[in-house]
Amino acid sequence: MSAEALPVATPAQVRTYARRLIVRHPRALAGVLALHALAAATGLVTPRLLGELVEGVRDGHAAIDAVGLAIAGFVTVQAVLTRYAYFASARLGERVLAELREEFVDRVLALPLSRVERAGTGDLVTRASRDVDTLASSVRYALPETLVAVVVGGFTAGALLLTGPLVALPALVTAPLLWAVMRWYLPRARGGYLRENAAWSRIAAGLTETVQGARTVEALGLAGRRHARGDADIAESYRAERYTLRLRMVLLPAAELGLVLPVVATLVTGGFLYIHGHASLAQVTAATLYAQQLIEPVDIVLFRLDELQLGGASLARLLGVGHVPPDRAAGGRVPEGERLTARGVRYSYRPGQDVLHGVDLDLRPGERLAMVGPSGAGKSTLGRLLAGVDGPRAGAVTVGADGGVPLVELPLDDLRGHVALVTQEHHVFQGTLRENLVMARPGASDAEIAQVLEAVDWDGPGLDARVGAGATGADAATLSPAQAQQLALARLVLADPHTLVLDEATSLLDPRAARRLERSLAAVLDGRTVVAIAHRLHTAHDADRVAVVEDGRVTELGTHDELIAREGSYAALWASWHGTP
């Protein structure tokens, strides 16, 4: 299955979002900027004082002690202000970051399951780890430092101009060079970094796939091919990194030159201006010091821009996750009744290749319907649609009387109160047993939980035991596969859906555990509508009705006896299974 990468936000979308992000906490931001501006302003007094001092020394009437004391005072005030300014910006940064993370989690949780499956987990994992980290470092360091540098740089440039326009001019000699280099660099950097991150996603996707499918890889002797894919991914990642490295190799020397030259130019031109009487010694001294002071903020802006680009690329990938069109839209209608109906349902995993071709199916409340048919006929797919895990491409699966409400219009929490899919996958979440259960019905009391556990014949640890991968400590417990399955059933009882879709719920267990579990299952199924996907035929015999699915259609529907009497596909299947009809 070829993975289809999740979308990436466009530059315009990222800019809009970033702008909103910056002004989301206007008061905190104003405070931070004001503190930095104040710190910068106090830092600008020193060069002026030094300029006066130099001139005073030349003229022989310098008040060295007083000026020295004043400078010490301003430096101290600047240090204190800077400390608080950084503290305030760090706090703001962390707050924004926390919000970003929460929003990302919301976006991920809202992703349609089908889309996640198509994209593969590697892409999502890389976005959740590498991209979140990159963005974090941007928001933590690059963003505040750039803002501060812009403030400080602006103030310093202003002070330089106030010192004298003539002595300020030489500081601008390299501005065109810096401008041109950045114009060249920035557009290339975005593409380069996006490509770098996509390459990382591919490596992660390939690795997770190999690890998850290790048995298959081994069984089919695919190690060579997996190696080749890994090598190709690494080669692409290498090329992507080389590209951005080349970009930096142009940027860095140019920036270095652009930063140092203005100081030299100011000093040389200033000396010339002084000799010809166009500038005072104090002006030249102060201007040179300001030019020197400008290096740091400009340097920060240039280099943090690079990081901001990286952060921007990551933000584009994080925001992109939110641009997957939802496969469900809450319509606000509340279904009346428990009748589940499929009308003209079509579904395709790949565009143009329908695997269901217009399925109609009416479930009678309380009945047990077995779905049989050859492997690949579409039973599991139909089961997922009946459970509302996915929406059909055309047609609708609805619940309730009078046409009903489409399952995809129900909020997920409500949906689970109507219909649930039971498969062989039983995830035990990290946490206590209680936490593992109440997620099915938030607010459930211990008494309710105890009742439910009894219903599924629970023989595992108590409610406070810590379960799930990596549980450690005195209260840690490891659940057997049968217990994990019981836990899943208990969750179902708590969620209390009126309709259940069973996709081979008990087939993985050894026969003794299976019998036990069947008892628990029977308790769970009691009184509910059940669609059992019977990959083996014996379940069909005991069901109220049997639906035969062939090639994406329901071809026969009726009781076991009716279908046997019809002498169609089901009768043939049954005969081939049992020898006699």
Binding flag, residue 560, ligand ADP (CB under 6 A): no
Task: Name the residue nearer to ligand ADP (CB basis): 3 or 62.
Answer: 3
- Binding flag, residue 4, ligand ADP (CB under 6 A): no
- Window contacting ligand ADP (CB under 6 A); options: 39-47, 372-380, 475-483, 494-502: 372-380
Distances (CA, A) of 245 to 126, 187, 188, 249, 328: 21, 15, 12, 6, 43
**Residues, the chain, total?**
581
**R_g of the chain computed on alpha carbons:** 35
Q: How far is the CB of 244 from ligand ADP (least distance, A)?
A: 35
Q: How far apart are CA 410 and CA 399, in angstroms?
A: 10
Tokens at residue 427, please? 């995830």
Q: Is 97 in the site for ligand ADP (CB under 6 A)?
A: no
Contacts of 452 (CB under 8 A, 6+ apart): 437, 490, 493, 494
Contact segment (CB under 6 A) with ligand ADP among 270-278, 293-301, 371-379, 515-523 equals 371-379
Looking at 380, 432, 485, 520, which residue binds ligand ADP (CB under 6 A)?
A: 380
Residues 381-420, interacting with ligand ADP (CB under 6 A): 381
Tokens of 196: 């770098």
Query: What does the alpha-carbon distance between residue 179 and residue 165 come to, in Å, rounded to a whole number?
Result: 21
Task: Return d(Cα 117, Cα 110) in angstroms, integer.
Answer: 14
Q: Give the nearest distance from C-beta 381 to ligand ADP in angstroms.
A: 3
Q: Least Å distance between CB 376 and ligand ADP?
A: 4
State the nearest-atom distance from the C-beta of 374 to ligand ADP, in Å. 7
Confirm or reject binding of residue 115 to ligand ADP (CB under 6 A).
no
- Residue 511 and residue 533: Cα distance in Å, rounded? 19
Part of the chain binding ligand ADP (CB under 6 A), chosen from 208-216, 273-281, 379-387, 565-573: 379-387
The answer to whether residue 134 forms part of the interface with ligand ADP (CB under 6 A) is no
Angstrom distance (rounded) from CA 452 to CA 455: 5
Contact between 478 and 449 under an 8 Å Cβ cutoff? The reply is: no
Number of residues this chain uses to bind ligand ADP (CB under 6 A): 11
| Residue (24 or 536) nearer to ligand ADP, CB | 536
Q: What are phi and psi of 399, to 5 degrees?
A: -125, 140
Mark the segment that binds ligand ADP (CB under 6 A) among 140-148, 291-299, 368-376, 507-515. Answer: 368-376
Q: Strand (E) positions, 405-472?
A: 405-406, 419-422, 431-432, 466-467
Q: Does 51 bind ligand ADP (CB under 6 A)?
A: no
From the CB of 363, what's the least distance to ligand ADP, in Å? 18
Residue nearer to ligand ADP on the CB measure, 353 or 472: 353
Is the Cβ of residue 376 or residue 481 nearer to ligand ADP in the bound state?
376
> Which letter does DSSP use for residue 476 in this model?
B
Of 379, 385, 453, 368, which Cα lies nearest the Cα of 419? Answer: 385
Q: Specify the residue, 163 or 380, whose C-beta has the smaller distance to ligand ADP.
A: 380
Residues numbered 347 to 366 that lie near ligand ADP (CB under 6 A) are 349, 355
Q: Please state the closest distance from residue 489 (CB atom) to ligand ADP, in A.
A: 22
Interface positions, 284-303, toward ligand ADP (CB under 6 A): none
Are 429 and 487 contacting, i.e. CB atoms less than 8 angstroms apart?
A: no
Dihedral of CA 410/411/416/418: which sign? negative
- Whole-angstrom distance, CA of residue 133 vs CA of residue 126: 10
- Nearer to ligand ADP (CB atom), residue 3 or residue 267: 3
Residue whose CB is less far from ligand ADP, 1 or 469:
1
- E-strand stretches of 526-581: 529-533, 545-550, 553-558
Tell me whether residue 4 or residue 459 sits nearer to ligand ADP (CB atom).
4
The enclosing H or E element of 434 equals helix 433-438
Q: Which residues of 519-544 are buried (b: 16+ CB within 10 A; e: fewer)?
A: ebbebbbeebbbbbbbeebebbeebe
- Of positions 122, 378, 392, 460, contacts ligand ADP by CB under 6 A: 378
- Shortest Cβ distance from residue 429 to ligand ADP (Å)? 24
Alpha-carbon gap, residue 166 to 265, rounded angstroms: 12
Among 331, 366, 376, 527, binds ligand ADP (CB under 6 A): 376
Map tokens 């014949």 to a residue: 457
Residue 10 or 216: the one with the smaller Cβ distance to ligand ADP is 216
State which of residues 48, 115, 379, 498 lies at the interface with ligand ADP (CB under 6 A).
379
| Span from 255-263, 329-337, 369-377, 465-473 in contact with ligand ADP (CB under 6 A) | 369-377
Burial 373-393 (b: 16+ CB within 10 A, else e): beeebbbbbbbbbbbbbbbbe
**Is there binding between residue 274 and ligand ADP (CB under 6 A)?**
no
Q: Is-contact 159 306, C-beta < 8 A?
A: no
Q: What do you get for the CA distance between the two ends of the chain, in Å?
A: 40
In the complex with ligand ADP, the residue whose CB is nearer, 178 or 377, is 377
Asked if 505 touches ligand ADP (CB under 6 A), the answer is no
d(CA 204, CA 129): 11
**Only segment of 101-109, 148-156, 378-386, 522-530 that touches ligand ADP (CB under 6 A):** 378-386
Contacting positions for ligand ADP (CB under 6 A): 1, 349, 355, 373, 375-381
